[in-house]
Chains A and B, each alone.
Chain A
Amino acid sequence: MKASPYAFITPFFLVFGAFGLVPLLYTGWYSLHSVQLSSLDKQTWVGLENYKNLWSSDFFWNALKNTFTIGLISTVPQLLLALGIAHLLNYKLRGSTLWRVVMLTPYATSVAAATLVFTLLYSWDGGMINWLLHFVGVDPINWRESDWGGQFAVSSIVIWRWTGYNALIYLAAMQAIPADLYESTALDGANRWQQFRHVTIPMLRPTILFTVVVSTIGATQLFGEPLLFGGSKGGSEHQYQTLGLYMYDQGWIIGNLGKASAIAWSMFLILLIVAAVNMLVNRRLRKSQ
C-alpha cells in the first residue's frame, strides 16, 4: 500500500532526473570550464572565471536590467487588464462561452506567429502603429531601435498573449466567490466598484499571488518574443536583450558554451531569490490578515 503512491510519481522523477536534473548539474559543471560549442571535449577548468566575467560585463547587467523592466511593463498591465476583463466576464453575458474562448485564442497562437505579426505592425516604414500615430501628429517611431519603444513593443506581445489566459484564471476564482457575500454588501449599499474592491479583490488574493508568481517566472525566462522581434542581440544597443536571449547569443551564436552555462546558472539563482522574496511577502500578507 505504501509503495504505490511513490511508484505513481516515479515516472515523473525518472524523466525529470534524465532530462531536467542531469542537464542542470552538467550545465553547472560546464559553467566552471571554458568550453566552446565547436570543441565540447576540450574543457579547461577555469573555476569561477565565467562568473567573474559576467559580474564585470556590461552586457550581463544590461540584460538583467532589461529582464526586470520588460517583466515589469509586461506583467503589471497584463494582470490589471486580466482582472478587469475577468470582472466584466463575470457579469451575465449573452454568449459567455464565446467570449471566454475568444479570450483564450491569443494564448493558443504560437509565439512565432504572434511576433511575426507584431513585427509588421511595429515596422518603422509603413507599419500600422506608426500609421495610426501619424493621425495624432506623432512622427514615425523606429520601434525596433528606440530604447523604450523596443521594450514596449516586446512587452505588448507578451501582454497580448497572456492577458486572456490570466483573465480566465481570475474568472474561475471569481465564480467560486459565494454570491451571498455580494448580496449582503449590496444590502449595505455598496455599489459595483465597492463590491469589486472589498469583496472580489480580497477573495482573489491567493489567485493573484499565484498569477504573479507564474508571470514572474515567465518574465524571467522571456526569450522567443525579443529574439524574433529583433535578433539575438535584442537591438543594436541590446535595448531588449533579456537574460535568456543573452544566454542564447553567447551559447549558440557566439559558441561560448561555458559562459552561456554561467548565465543559465545565474538565472537559476535569480529565480531562487525571487521565489524566496515571494515567500516572505506571502507570509507577511498572511500574518497581516
Chain B
Amino acid sequence: MRTSTRGSRRMMTLAVVATLTTGLLAGCADDSGDSTPNNGGGNGGGGGGKTALTIGTFGVFGYKQAGLYDEYMKLHPDVSITENVTTKTDVYWPKTITRLQAGSGVDDIQAIEIGNVAEAVQTQADKFVDLGKEVDKSQWLDWKNAQATTKDGKQIGLGTDIGPMAICYRKDLFKEAGLETDRTKLAAEWKGDWSKFVDVGKNYMKKAPSGTKFVDSASSVYNAALGGASERYYDKDGNPIWDKSKGVKAAWNSAMEVATSDMSAKLKQFEKPWDQALANAKFATVACPAWMIGYIQEKSGEAGKGNWDVAAAPTAANWGGAFIGVPTAGKHQKEAIALAKWLTAPEQQAKVFAKQASFPSAPAAYATLKPQAATVEYFSNAPIAEIYAASAKTIPVQYFGVKDQPIGTAIADVGILQVEQKGKTPEQGWDAAKNEIKDVLGQ
C-alpha cells in the first residue's frame, strides 16, 4: 500500500514537472513569434482567407498617419496590414539584422535607415528580394537607387523619404541682431560654403540678443556640411578613407569654428534641453533637413509661429532618409512586393509629405507637393516645397560604408563634443575621434 502511494506521488511530481517545463518552453516559443502575430491567421485561413502582411519600421514613417494602410486594404480587400514599429533605430537595426540572418521572425517588409543601408547592401543582399526588376527605377533620384544597389546591380530596397537640407532661422532674432532677414538674400550670403554660414554666425554673436546663440550645436553643423560632401567616410569601393576625406575635413573645420567660438548653444539634438531651447528661442538657426520642419513646428509651438523662416542651405545636402525592402524569408513575397511598390510610388510619397513632411525620393512628386497650410504659415510663407526640391535635385552621389553610423557617432559624440563642451583643442578632439574610429574598425 505504502509503496503504491509513493509511486503515484512520484508520478504526480513528474507530471507537474513535465507540465511546468513544457509550459515554460511553449511560453518562449510564443515570444519569438510575437513579431508576426498575423501569420497564424493568414496561413490557417482564420482571417477569412486574407493575406496578412506585416511591415517593420522605426521612428515615425507616416504611412499609418497618412492613412495609406487603410487605403491599400480598401483597394485590396484580401490583404490586411500590420505595422510593427520600433521607436529607436539603434534598437531596430541590430534586431532586424539578426532576424534576417536567422531567416525567421522577419516582417514581410522591413525598413532600412540610410545609415544602415550600406551594411545591408554589402552583407545582407542575399536576404532581400531584388526589387530593381520589379519597378521603373527612373521614378527615383539616381543617387537614392544607387545607395540600395549592390555592385552586381541588385537593388535591395525602394527609396521612401530623403532629407534634403535647408537652414531654418528665427527672423525675429536675426532682426534684433541687425542681420539680413530675407531668405533669398541670406541664402546668397552663405551660398557655396558652410564656413560662410559660420561667418554669419560671427556677425550674429556681435549683437546677439541676450541669452541666445547662433546654432544649436557644432555637430549639427558638421552633419549638415558632411551631408553635402561627395566624399564621406568610405570610397566607392568600400574602403575607409575617413582620415583623408576632403568632405570630412571641411565639415570638421566648420564644426570646429563653431565649437571654439561662443556661437553654439552646446545642446544635443532631440534631447529634452534641446526641445526646451527650441521652445524658448535660445538659438537662432538650425540645420534643417525636410523632416526637421515638423519637429520645429511641434517643439517651438505657438510662440514660434511666424518667427521661423526657411532659407536654402550653403550646399545641397542630404541628411537622413530610408528604404523599404522585402526579405526573402517573408511568407508572402508577391503581395509584399506589390505593397512596397505602391507605398513608394510618387502619389503615395506625396501623400506622406502632405501629412508628415517626409520629403519624397521620387522627383515626379515634386511638382504637386503641397505642404500643410498651417506649416507654410508657421514658416512665414516660405516656399518650403520648392526650396527642398531644388536641394534634392542637386545632391551629389555619396558612398556609404559598413561602419558609417558608428564612425559618425565617434566624430560627433566624442571628437566634437570634447572640443565643444570640455574645452579641448581641435587637435585633441580629432585625436580622440581617431582612436575611437580605430577601435570601431578594429585597427
Contacts and interface: CB of A to CB of B under 8 A. Distances in A.
B409 interface: yes
Contacts, number: 93
Interface string A1-42: 101100110110011001100000000000000101111110
Interface in A227-271: 231-233, 236-237, 252-256, 259
A183 interface: no
B101 A259 contact: no
Interface stretch (A66-74, A92-100, A119-127, A155-163): A119-127
Contacts of A123: 272-273
Interface residues of A, number: 41
Nearest to B416: A236
Interface in A133-161: 142, 145
A14 B349 CA distance: 51
Contact of B439 (A40, A57, A232, A236): A57
A59 interface: yes
Contacts of B124: 38
Contacts of A11: 17, 20-21, 24
Given A7-B17, A41-B101, A120 B272 contact: yes
B417 A236 contact: yes
Nearest to A251: B94
B422 A237 contact: yes
B413 A4 contact: no
Interface in B293-343: none
B329 to A, nearest CB: 14
Contacts of B414: 233, 236-237
Interface in A91-122: 119-120
Interface stretch (B8-16, B131-139, B353-361): B8-16
Contact of A256 (B94, B119, B442): B442
B398 to A, nearest CB: 20
Contact of B98 (A14, A37, A53, A256): A37
B17 A236 contact: no
Contacts of A255: 94, 119, 403, 406
Contacts of A38: 97, 119, 122-124, 402
Contacts of B94: 37, 252, 255
Interface in B1-29: 6, 9-10, 13-14, 17, 20-21, 24-25, 28
Interface string B427-443: 00000100110011010
Contacts of B13: 3-4, 7-8
Nearest to A58: B435
Nearest to A60: B439
B10 to A, nearest CB: 6
Interface string B408-432: 0100011001100110000000001
Given A4-B9, A8-B17, A237 B442 contact: no
